[in-house]
Each structure stands twice: as C-alpha cells, then as structure tokens.
Amino acid sequence: MIFAEKIITLRKRNGWSQEDLAARVNVSRQAVAKWEASQSIPSLDKIVQLSLVFGVTTDYLLKEEEEEISVTQDSPESSIRHVTLQEAGSYLETRRPAAWVCAIATALCILSPVTVIALGAFSEYGHIHISENTAGAIGLIVLLLMVGIAVGLFIWNDQVRNKPWEFLEHDPFVLDYGVRGLVKEQQTAFAPGKLALTIIGVILLILSPVAIFGAIFTDKDLYMALSVCVTLILVAAGVFLLILADIPSEAADRLLQEGDYTPDKKRSNSVLGPLSGAYWLIATAIYLLWSFRTENWGTTWMVWPVAGLLFAALRTIVEAVMKNRGETQERIR
C-alpha cells in the first residue's frame, strides 16, 4: 500500500472528509487531494502531524511494505491537542491588550535614561538651579522606577496573559474544523493596520539619529545631550509601533504554525528561549554597569543596537545548528 492509499484509508476510517483532515494539519483541501492522488508529498513536519492525528507511526506512513497499521502508544486525542474555534478566538482577543502591555514596557526601558541625561545636561549648563549630584540622583530614581514598572509589566503579561497559551509555543497541536478560516480572516483584517504601523515605526527609527546629526553642527554640548533624548524618544515610539503591529500578526502565525512557528522553528525556539533570556539579562547588566561607572548615558545607550545586531546573528547560528541537527537525526532514522 502506497502513502496516498494509506492517507485515504486512515481518513475514511476516522470518518473525515478531505476538508476535515486539511483543517487538522493546517493545509488546504487541495493539498490533501494532491497527497491522495499521488501528485505531491507532504513535507516532513506535515508527515509528523499526520502520524499524530491518525495515531500511527511515521514508518507506517512512509514505508510501502508496512501494510499493517502500526499504532502509536498514545491515541490521537492524548498525543496531540486540538484547538477549538472558541479557544482560537479567545487567544486572538488576548493578543491586542498583550501587545499594548509589551509595547509600553519596552518603551519605558528605552526611555528610562532620558530623565538622567536631560536633568544632568540642564544642571551642568545652569538651566535649572539644582546641583549635578541632585539632578543625577533624581534621574537615577526615575530610571529605576521606569525599569521596575517595565519589568513588572513584562512579568504580569507573561504570567497572566501568555501562560495559558504556552502550549502553542512548545507542544504539537492541530486546529479544529473552521479555526483556520477564522484565523485567516483575522489575519486579513489586520493586515492594513499592521502595514501602516510598520511603515510609521520604521520611519521613526530611520529618523531617530537626525537630532544627533543636527546637534553636531551646533557645536553645543547641551544640544548634543538633548539630541540623545530626542533620539531615544523616537526609537521608543518606533519600537512601540512595531510591537503593536507584530504581536497580533505573530499570534495568527502561531496558530497557523507558519513563519517563525513551524515545528522546526519551535524546536529552535526551545533552545533560544532560555538563551535569549540569559543574553538580554547580561546585556542589561553591561548597560547599567557601564552607565553607572562612566555616567556617560549619552553613549552607553549604544549597547542596545549593538546587542540587537549580535542577538540576530546568534539567533541565525542557533537556527542553522538546530536545522542541521534535525536533518541529521532524520537521516539516522
């Protein structure tokens, strides 16, 4: 019995139409029809999903000589979770407020040095009648308050809004009938808003250094310090808008298991998750230590773009290693 015949047999045994099976493995009905007509072969991650949905081994699906159904130890219901229409709708609804909380917390972190820089500059050049030490102390208090509020928001967001949906990030799941259509509809409806927010956010990030370049020509230290504040404000605004645009879109990709949320990506994310947490803690520690030791907040903010570029490179390396490891394991099997 060939692969196509096995798919037909297993589908009919479960009483499913081609559309039902397509919904369970997150593909179109046409894709299932092509599999059953031997016109195409599903990708490796889809074969794994099919084995979980049907409750059979991948060997049974792939090896033509295996005529007898090799059932896995767990039934399909116990081995893979089904996401209902109601669960998907609830998840998508939580993403918008979660995006706002994450965007606000991130903006607070970026803006936290602004008070230190501005008060220090105004105090040094006599524009406010307080000592530099007092200005620095007030600025540091505000900085720590803003970072503390941001950390609290991140923790609250993670434990209250994100925790119930952790299984979407780590565990295998399939969508019940009708869920894929709902998610696609939401994705289409949000697309124009995402595009507008992304365009504005990117423009703000591109324009953020303009204030610094302008201050260079004035040859005034006060303007240079204030230009750094303006740059940070523009960066915070740009990142704020990009997060608002990205999180709801990521939610749809997570449900559809597309983009960064395919099974292969999930395996790499299981490594990247703890790694990224440690990485950004180290980056924050370097930023604070350097800032407090030098008191040169106008320069130390460069830690963040550098850290971002290095993290992108680190992510690419980890994903490549995980992909090669997965391919090696499949060849061994």
Q: Are 286 and 296 members of one domain?
A: yes
Contacting residues for 174 by C-beta, under 8 A, at least 6 apart: 23, 24, 25, 26, 49, 52, 53, 80, 81, 82, 83
pLDDT digits (tens, 9 = 90+) for 55-108: 788 888 877 665 555 444 444 444 567 788 888 888 888 888 999 999 999 999
Among 33, 61, 79, residue at a domain's last position: 79
Q: Are 44 and 127 members of one domain?
A: no
pLDDT digits (tens, 9 = 90+) for 266-287: 666 666 666 776 777 788 788 7
User: pLDDT value at position 72?
Assistant: 47
Strands (E), the chain: 81-83, 173-175
| Identity of the amino acid at 35 | W
Q: Are 59 and 153 members of one domain?
A: no
Q: How many domains is the chain built from?
A: 3
Q: Are 62 and 150 members of one domain?
A: no
Q: Are 248 and 275 members of one domain?
A: no
pLDDT digits (tens, 9 = 90+) for 167-214: 887 777 777 767 888 888 888 888 999 999 999 999 999 998 888 888
Report the distance separating Cα 97 and Cα 325, nearest Å: 37
Q: Are 230 and 284 members of one domain?
A: no
* Tokens, residue 131: 């000592």
Confidence class for position 218, pLDDT limits 50, 70, 90: confident
Q: Are 66 and 89 members of one domain?
A: no
Report the chain's terminal Cα–Cα distance, integer Å.
21
| Identity of the amino acid at 299 | T
Report the distance separating Cα 201 and Cα 244, nearest Å: 10
Among 79, 106, 122, residue at a domain's last position: 79
pLDDT digits (tens, 9 = 90+) for 98-141: 999 999 999 998 898 888 888 887 877 766 777 878 888 888 89
Residue 245 zone, left/alpha/beta (φ > 0; ψ -120 to 50; rest):
alpha
Contacting residues for 228 by C-beta, under 8 A, at least 6 apart: 117, 211, 212, 297, 298, 301
Q: Are 14 and 73 members of one domain?
A: yes
Q: Are 275 and 246 members of one domain?
A: no
Q: Are 242 and 276 members of one domain?
A: no
pLDDT digits (tens, 9 = 90+) for 281-307: 788 788 778 877 886 766 776 787 788
User: pLDDT value at position 271?
Assistant: 61
Q: Are 109 and 256 members of one domain?
A: yes
CATH number at residue 29: 1.10.260.40
| pLDDT average, residue stretch 34-51 | 85
Among 79, 113, 128, residue at a domain's last position: 79
Confidence class for position 330, pLDDT limits 50, 70, 90: very low
Query: Could you give the percent of the chain with pLDDT greater than 70?
Result: 83
Q: Are 252 and 267 members of one domain?
A: no
What is the span of the domain harbouring residue 135?
85-260
Q: How far is CA 202 from CA 91, 246, 250, in A?
A: 27, 12, 18
Report the distance separating Cα 301 and Cα 293, nearest Å: 14
